[in-house]
């Protein structure tokens, strides 16, 4: 074997420009994507002060709102909206279920407060059993495709979100409420 | 007292590592051997320091110091002492210290050798290894401190911090939470250390590659210096992967050993490029080709190591294996970004200097087939990488979370692995430099025929399905070809030297350890392939609830539920243990198995431990899924029959033998078959 | 409907069916699906809550409910695809073992083959460039692979002596 047939060594051919561009674009694109994904994991739930984007959610039969079978956040503008994420398999959720029902009973006739229960990743028969067990009658629906929970970026259940009349989030409660008074203590200031 | 001491030591180590980097760079710039020597000494100081820091941590783990948050998280009073020690790597903070400890150990080993001929590499190797050690120590010191303690405020809140915040008192818990029960298993004890050994040792070849690029010494030297390191690193990584699989099989209770979980894949990816590198480096040594490609492969392997570590520990990936989300994500990301950009920049800068004499005599030569080997490994890598990254991309672009699971990987990598097996059968028979269809044909027809005979027997006695038969044929082909190669070599020695076959065999291996150790490894891989094919293609399972004395039938086995008992074990576990009798289809009694459910009250978690009956032909794997107290229906069992799976573990043991042959026996192979004068590297074949 | 009502309906229907029994056995009520049938489908789904755990393996209470749901759906005669689609609609696409072949998800399946083929093409081109000089060198002598080892050994022996 001899080297006599090697390409002319006179000029040093570096990496061609088109290849360099592709390499850097791919690398920086990958890094950018990972950075965004990282930021997203570091992000917590939606925070007070954030405007909640509009969403629509179907409701269980018998748990509709104003006769309709779905709820849209934009339709509820002008009222205080309490969005509560729960699941029938979630033991801590049961601690606050009765309190939520009592709170709803005290506000439902004012017409200024709306409670919406979002059933996170659950099965309908079990969900209904749960709702009946605690006598909950406010609007409740399944979080189809986990769209709503992804919107709020929940980290688990139960979590409760208090949205004011302009659609801006005012308070996040991670974990169950320990008493009805705690719930009212959040809602009453918002009504003034 | 102890937490302050431990933390202080690690802070000092961090500063020493930074000093080492600075001194090395300064010494290199100013061409001052004194400064470089100072940097080297500083780096040698790191391992003793980190050992001391780790020792204080282990001491606290052993002596129930539950005011320390890490000790609380990973130990409990009921754990035996040996598990408390292994809890060192059972959580994020401790495992970062463990990583630093290993990193400094390897860096020290590397710098302890004689550096006379390679003085220009030394500063840069120190820089790279010390930066890496400093980074991991920095993560510990600033983000994930294993010495942080619990402080209680007046109104009952608990703050975790290193130093006491104002108006707080030290809070000492009565008992710890205990190591995750899944980790309290012999396999789990050794799997992380093996994996980390594999990961960390890949830093060394990377450091030398960087040194070669920075100094412009782009000839073979860096590869020769790190050849043995790379082999050891690859060996440790392979062992870590196998042990992880064995642990998953024994303890996770889903009857399989590999789930294509993103974290598993993150460990597999460096192994793929590492294997490709092991092969293509032989081409560079024999024929001087592929300098650019080898440089890329080493950098890619290291990049995948740290990228995989980042994905696992930052919470970006969703996985059963992943550490809980932590604050180290952004820092790690910055480290990765800097590493990728610097490495790629350097490679592009030195690209022209890496050109070798690129001459390929024939497309069937061994070089060409090794190139094909690399292409196939890189293809598997592309599939794996894309499968891991795609869910991230999908969530970012469409907001929709998707799972890329086993069907995708199995369909995509199946043909690729089959092609690799075919290559393993052909490549040993092709010659360096020149091969034609005729020469290959003449060499291969005998083993190919033998393999066909074996496959025909399998067809008659075992299975008629096409794809498994193809798989078995390829396995048989590789084994026949490899044995044939051995036999030809031994016969040549026998003819020319009159040695008997056994002596010829031994001498052959001793003279050419890398080649024949490599053949051993190929054979072991084929045994593992038999196990993998058996379980993937022929696994059967069933689940049913049976009353006492009821039986489940599966394949040739009948499993009879005999009794169940509940008791407390020594380390506070509540054990529910079922006794089942195993019978074959003729009604003969084969033995007794004890599947059980262990409940760990401190961690509030269940572990399902299967009862396994292992033979060469298959594994009977019985799980206790559920049970009801004596009155009611009985117990629910899930049974698997996993054919041939034990060949996977047998193959792994033989793999170790082959790899040890390749790495421990000094190499006396001649360097090149033909080396042009201009390219001759000025050194004899000294084993490092 | 509530669970008790559902059971009543099922019983009523089975009673009706029992009346039709003698004529066509095929129309009879499906027996309760076995664990194996449930697991066969659950194996292809992932637990919506736990990380990356297949549904047939997951030990939590929620997963048990989901397996019971599959059992119910099977006994109602749902097909495998219907069940998988239901789960995907209810819980999102990530419960499926493979991304559904819609929209951007096609990239998962298309990109790897493309990249691999591109890589193969690049490699072939490089190898072609590298073999060109060989074409100019004179025809090689005869190879004797079976004696290659002897030749190499002799070469080695010469070097050592």
Per-residue model confidence as pLDDT tens digits over B13-22: 999 999 999 9
CB A84 within 8 Å of CB A95: no
Of the residues C90, C140, C141, the best mutation for testing chain A's interface (the one with the most A CB atoms within 10 Å of its CB) is C90
The Cα B265–Cα C107 span in angstroms is 20
Domain boundaries, chain C: 29-119
Burial class (CB in 10 A: 0-12, 13-18, 19+), B63: exposed
The Cα B73–Cα B87 span in angstroms is 9
Asked if the Cβ–Cβ distance from B375 to C103 is below 8 Å, we say no
Among the partner-chain residues C46, C57, C159, the one whose CB lies closest to the CB of B405 is: C46
Q: Does B675 touch chain C (CB under 8 A)?
A: no
Asked if the Cβ–Cβ distance from C91 to A6 is below 8 Å, we say no
pLDDT tens string B444-467: 888 999 999 999 999 998 888 999
Asked if the Cβ–Cβ distance from A31 to B340 is below 8 Å, we say yes
Burial class (CB in 10 A: 0-12, 13-18, 19+), B530: buried
From first CA to last CA, the distance across chain C in angstroms is 94
Q: For position A161, what pLDDT does the model report?
A: 93
Residue B386 with chain C: CB contacts under 8 Å: 108, 111-112, 115
- B633 CB-near residues (< 8 Å, 6+ apart): B545, B547
The Cα B558–Cα B573 span in angstroms is 30
Q: For position C9, what pLDDT does the model report?
A: 55
User: Nearest chain B Cα to A36, which residue?
Assistant: B396
Question: In what helix (H) or strand (E) does residue B627 lie, and over which residues does it extend?
Answer: strand B618-627
Of the residues C76, C91, C118, the best mutation for testing chain A's interface (the one with the most A CB atoms within 10 Å of its CB) is C91
DSSP string, C56-76: TT--SHHHHHHHHHHHHHHHT
Q: Which other chains touch chain A, taking contact as 3+ CB pairs less than 8 Å apart?
A: B, C
How many CB atoms lie under 10 A from the CB of residue B403? 23
Rg for chain C (alpha carbons), in Å?
32
Between positions 41 and 100 of C, the ones with CB within 8 A of B are: 46, 50-54, 56-57, 59, 92-100
Query: Under CATH, domain C29-119 is a member of which superfamily?
Result: Cytochrome C biogenesis protein (1.10.8.640)
Residue A145 with chain C: CB contacts under 8 Å: 88-93
Instruction: Flag whether pLDDT at B108 surpasses 90.
Output: yes
CA-closest candidate to residue B412, choices B237, B260, B305, B307: B260
Tokens 């809070």 belong to: B171
Q: For position B360, what pLDDT does the model report?
A: 74
Instruction: Flag whether pLDDT at A32 surpasses 70.
Output: yes
Residue A144 with chain C: CB contacts under 8 Å: 89-90
- B185 CB-near residues (< 8 Å, 6+ apart): B247, B250, B251
Lowest mean pLDDT among A32-36, A113-117, B129-133, B497-501: B497-501
Asked if the Cβ–Cβ distance from A37 to B395 is below 8 Å, we say yes
Tokens 């703050």 belong to: B159
Could you give the 3-state DSSP secondary structure of residue A136? coil
Omega within 30 of 0 (cis) for the link into A43: no
Instruction: Flag whether pLDDT at B621 surpasses 80.
Output: yes
The average pLDDT across B43-55 equals 95
Q: For position A12, what pLDDT does the model report?
A: 61
Degrees to nearest 5, angle at CA B305 with C116 and B147: 155
pLDDT tens string A37-73: 888 888 878 889 888 999 999 999 888 887 788 899 9
Q: For position C29, what pLDDT does the model report?
A: 53
Q: What pTM does this model have?
A: 0.87
Q: For position C20, what pLDDT does the model report?
A: 43
Q: Which other chains touch chain B, taking contact as 3+ CB pairs less than 8 Å apart?
A: A, C
Instruction: Flag whether pLDDT at B23 surpasses 90.
Output: yes
The Cα C114–Cα C108 span in angstroms is 11
Helix %, strand %, coil % for chain C, to 5?
A: 70, 0, 30
Q: For position C4, what pLDDT does the model report?
A: 59
Q: For position C155, what pLDDT does the model report?
A: 67
How many CB atoms lie under 10 A from the CB of residue B458? 18
Residue A5 with chain B: CB contacts under 8 Å: 359
CA-to-CA separations, B161 to B72, B98, B145, B277, B659, in angstroms, rounded:
14, 21, 9, 44, 46
Asked if the Cβ–Cβ distance from B375 to C123 is below 8 Å, we say yes
Q: For position C127, what pLDDT does the model report?
A: 82
The Cα B605–Cα B182 span in angstroms is 9
Task: Work out the mean pLDDT of chain B and round it to a whole number.
Answer: 87
Q: For position B179, what pLDDT does the model report?
A: 84
Minimal CA separation from A39 to chain B, in Å: 8
Q: For position C139, what pLDDT does the model report?
A: 43
CB B522 within 8 Å of CB B486: no
More confident residue, B509 or C23: B509
Any bridge partners for residue B554, and if so which?
B557
- B97 CB-near residues (< 8 Å, 6+ apart): B10, B50, B53, B54, B57, B88, B140, B146
User: Nearest chain A Cα to B338, which residue?
Assistant: A31
**What six digits make up the tokens of B590?**
């084969």
Among the partner-chain residues B375, B386, B542, the one whose CB lies closest to the CB of C36 is: B542
Q: For position B629, what pLDDT does the model report?
A: 65
The average pLDDT across B653-675 equals 72
Of the residues C116, C140, C142, the best mutation for testing chain B's interface (the one with the most B CB atoms within 10 Å of its CB) is C116
Asked if the Cβ–Cβ distance from B329 to A14 is below 8 Å, we say no
Could you give the 3-state DSSP secondary structure of residue B70? helix
**What six digits make up the tokens of B679?**
């390219």
pLDDT tens string B353-367: 887 766 777 778 888
Instruction: Flag whether pLDDT at B676 surpasses 50.
Output: no
The average pLDDT across C56-80 equals 88
Residue C61 with chain A: CB contacts under 8 Å: 89
Instruction: Flag whether pLDDT at B313 surpasses 80.
Output: yes
The average pLDDT across B345-360 equals 82
DSSP one-letter code for C96? B
Lowest mean pLDDT among B231-235, B431-435, B582-586: B431-435
Those residues of chain A whose CB sits closer than 8 Å to some CB in chain B are: 1-3, 5-6, 12-15, 20, 23-24, 27, 30-31, 33-38, 40-42, 146, 150
User: Nearest chain A Cα to B679, which residue?
Assistant: A3
Torsions phi, psi for B50 (to 5 deg) = -65, -35
Q: For position B632, what pLDDT does the model report?
A: 54
Lowest mean pLDDT among B313-317, B324-328, B505-509: B324-328
How many CB atoms lie under 10 A from the CB of residue C53? 20
Could you give the 3-state DSSP secondary structure of residue B606? strand
The Cα B349–Cα B142 span in angstroms is 35
Of the residues A37, A145, A154, the best mutation for testing chain B's interface (the one with the most B CB atoms within 10 Å of its CB) is A37
Minimal CA separation from A41 to chain C, in Å: 15
From first CA to last CA, the distance across chain B in angstroms is 45
Tokens 């066969």 belong to: C40
Q: For position B224, what pLDDT does the model report?
A: 83
Could you give the 3-state DSSP secondary structure of residue A154? coil
Share of chain B above pLDDT 70, in %: 94
The Cα B589–Cα B586 span in angstroms is 9
The average pLDDT across B546-551 equals 87
Q: For position C8, what pLDDT does the model report?
A: 60
The average pLDDT across A175-187 equals 89
The average pLDDT across B237-261 equals 89
Could you give the 3-state DSSP secondary structure of residue B668? coil
CA-closest candidate to residue A187, choices A75, A83, A54: A83
pLDDT tens string A125-174: 889 999 999 999 899 999 988 889 888 988 888 999 999 999 899 999 99
**What six digits make up the tokens of B38?**
């100072």
Lowest mean pLDDT among B469-473, B485-489, C26-30: C26-30
Give all strands (DSSP E) within B116-271, no chain letters.
149-153, 158-161, 168-170
Instruction: Flag whether pLDDT at C143 surpasses 60.
Output: no
What is the phi-psi region of residue B480: left when phi exceeds 0, alpha when psi lies from -120 to 50, beta otherwise? Answer: alpha
Q: For position C58, what pLDDT does the model report?
A: 84
Instruction: Flag whether pLDDT at C112 surpasses 70.
Output: yes
**What six digits make up the tokens of C2?**
């509530």
Instruction: Flag whether pLDDT at B62 surpasses 90.
Output: yes
Tokens 């939520």 belong to: A100
**What six digits make up the tokens of B16?**
């020493």
- B413 CB-near residues (< 8 Å, 6+ apart): B380, B383, B384
């Amino acid at each position: 074997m001899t080297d006599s047939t090697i390409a002319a060594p006179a000029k040093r051919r570096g990496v061609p420009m088109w290849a360099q561009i592709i390499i850097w674009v791919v690398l920086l694109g990958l890094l950018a994507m990972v950075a965004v994904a990282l930021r997203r994991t570091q992000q917590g739930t939606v925070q007070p002060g954030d405007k909640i984007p509009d969403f629509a959610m179907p409701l269980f039969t018998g748990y509709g709102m104003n006769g309709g079978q779905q709820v849209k956040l934009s339709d509820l503008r002008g009222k205080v909206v309490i969005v509560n994420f729960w699941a029938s398999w979630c033991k801590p959720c049961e601690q606050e279920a009765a309190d939520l029902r009592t709170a709803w009973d005290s506000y439902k006739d004012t017409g200024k407060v709306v409670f919406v229960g979002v059933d996170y990743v659950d099965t309908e028969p079990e969900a209904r059993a749960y709702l009946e067990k605690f006598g909950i009658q406010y609007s409740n629906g399944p979080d189809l495709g986990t769209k709503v929970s992804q919107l709020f970026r929940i980290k688990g259940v139960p979590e409760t979100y208090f949205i004011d009349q302009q659609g801006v989030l005012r308070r996040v409660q991670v974990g169950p409420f320990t008493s009805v008074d705690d719930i009212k203590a959040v809602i009453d200031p918002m009504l003034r | 007292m102890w937490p302050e001491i431990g933390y202080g030591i690690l802070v000092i180590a961090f500063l020493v590592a930074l000093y080492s980097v600075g001194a090395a760079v300064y010494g290199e710039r100013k061409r001052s051997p004194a400064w470089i020597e100072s940097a080297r000494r500083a780096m040698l100081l790191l391992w003793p320091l980190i050992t001391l820091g780790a020792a204080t941590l282990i001491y606290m783990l052993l002596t129930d110091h539950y005011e320390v948050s890490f000790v609380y998280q990973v130990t409990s009073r009921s754990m035996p002492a040996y598990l408390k020690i292994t809890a060192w790597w059972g959580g994020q903070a401790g495992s970062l210290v463990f990583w630093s400890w290993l990193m400094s150990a390897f860096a020290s080993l590397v710098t302890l050798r004689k550096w006379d001929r390679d003085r220009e590499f030394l500063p840069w190797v120190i820089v790279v290894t010390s930066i890496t050690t400093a980074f991991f120590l920095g993560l510990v010191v600033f983000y994930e401190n294993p010495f942080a303690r619990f402080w209680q405020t007046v109104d009952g809140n608990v703050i975790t911090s290193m130093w006491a915040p104002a108006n707080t008192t030290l809070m000492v818990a009565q008992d710890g939470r205990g190591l995750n029960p899944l980790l309290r298993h012999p396999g789990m004890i050794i799997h992380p250390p093996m994996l980390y050994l594999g990961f960390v040792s890949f830093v060394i070849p990377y450091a030398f590659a960087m040194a070669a690029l920075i100094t412009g010494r782009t000839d073979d030297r860096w590869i020769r210096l790190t050849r043995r390191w790379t082999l050891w690193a690859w060996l440790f990584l392979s062992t870590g992967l196998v042990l992880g699989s064995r642990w998953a099989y024994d303890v996770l209770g889903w009857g399989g050993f590999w789930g294509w979980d993103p974290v598993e894949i993150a460990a597999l990816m460096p192994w793929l490029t590492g294997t490709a590198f092991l092969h293509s480096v032989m081409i560079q040594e024999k024929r001087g080709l592929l300098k650019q490609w080898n440089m890329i492969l080493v950098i890619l392997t290291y990049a995948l190591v740290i990228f995989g570590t980042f994905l696992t520990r930052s919470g970006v990936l969703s996985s059963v294996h992943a550490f809980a989300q932590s604050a180290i994500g952004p820092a790690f990301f910055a480290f990765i970004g800097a590493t990728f950009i610097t490495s790629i920049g350097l490679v592009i800068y030195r690209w022209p200097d890496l050109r070798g004499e690129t001459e390929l005599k024939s497309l069937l030569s061994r070089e060409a087939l090794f190139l094909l080997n690399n292409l196939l490994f890189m293809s598997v890598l592309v599939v794996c990488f894309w499968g891991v990254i795609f869910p991230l991309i999908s969530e970012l672009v469409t907001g929709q979370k998707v799972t890329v699971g086993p069907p995708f990987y199995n369909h995509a990598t199946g043909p690729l692995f089959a092609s690799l097996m075919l290559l393993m059968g052909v490549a040993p028979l092709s010659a360096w430099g020149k091969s034609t269809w005729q020469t290959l044909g003449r060499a291969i027809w005998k083993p190919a025929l033998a393999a066909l005979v074996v496959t025909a027997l399998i067809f008659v006695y075992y299975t008629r399905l096409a794809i498994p038969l193809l798989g078995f044929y390829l396995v048989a082909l590789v084994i026949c070809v490899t044995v044939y190669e051995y036999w030809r070599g031994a016969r040549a020695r026998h003819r020319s030297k009159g040695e008997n076959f056994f002596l010829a065999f031994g001498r052959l291996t001793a003279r050419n350890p890398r080649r024949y150790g490599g053949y051993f490894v190929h054979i072991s891989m084929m045994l593992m392939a038999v196990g993998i094919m058996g379980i993937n293609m022929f696994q059967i399972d069933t689940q049913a609830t049976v009353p006492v004395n009821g039986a489940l039938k599966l394949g040739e086995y009948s499993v009879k539920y005999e009794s169940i008992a509940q008791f407390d074990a020594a380390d506070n576990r509540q054990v529910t243990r079922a006794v089942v009798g195993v019978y074959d289809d003729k009604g003969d009694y084969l033995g007794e198995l004890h599947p059980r459910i262990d409940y760990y009250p401190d961690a509030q978690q269940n572990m399902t431990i299967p009862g396994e009956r292992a033979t060469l032909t298959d594994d009977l794997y019985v799980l206790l899924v559920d049970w009801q107290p004596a009155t009611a229906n009985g117990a629910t069992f899930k049974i698997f029959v996993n054919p041939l799976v034990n060949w996977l573990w047998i193959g792994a043991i033989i793999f170790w033998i082959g790899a040890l042959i390749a790495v421990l026996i000094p190499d006396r192979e001649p360097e090149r078959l033909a080396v042009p004068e201009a390219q001759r590297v000025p050194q004899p074949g000294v084993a490092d | 409907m509530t669970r008790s009502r559902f059971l009543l309906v099922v019983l009523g229907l089975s009673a009706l069916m029992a009346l039709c029994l003698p004529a066509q056995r095929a129309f009879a009520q499906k027996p309760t699906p076995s664990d194996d049938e449930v697991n066969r489908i659950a194996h292809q789904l992932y637990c919506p809550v736990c990380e990356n755990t297949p549904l047939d393996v997951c030990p939590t209470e929620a997963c048990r409910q989901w397996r019971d749901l599959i059992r119910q759906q099977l006994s109602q005669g749902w097909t495998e695809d219907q069940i998988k689609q239901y789960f995907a609609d209810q819980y999102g696409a990530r419960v499926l073992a493979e991304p559904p072949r819609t929209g951007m998800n096609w990239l998962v399946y298309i990109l790897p083959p493309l990249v691999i083929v591109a890589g193969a093409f690049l490699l072939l081109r490089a190898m072609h460039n590298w073999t060109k000089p060989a074409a100019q060198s004179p025809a090689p002598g005869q190879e004797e692979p079976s004696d290659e080892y002897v030749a190499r050994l002799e070469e080695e022996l010469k070097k050592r002596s």
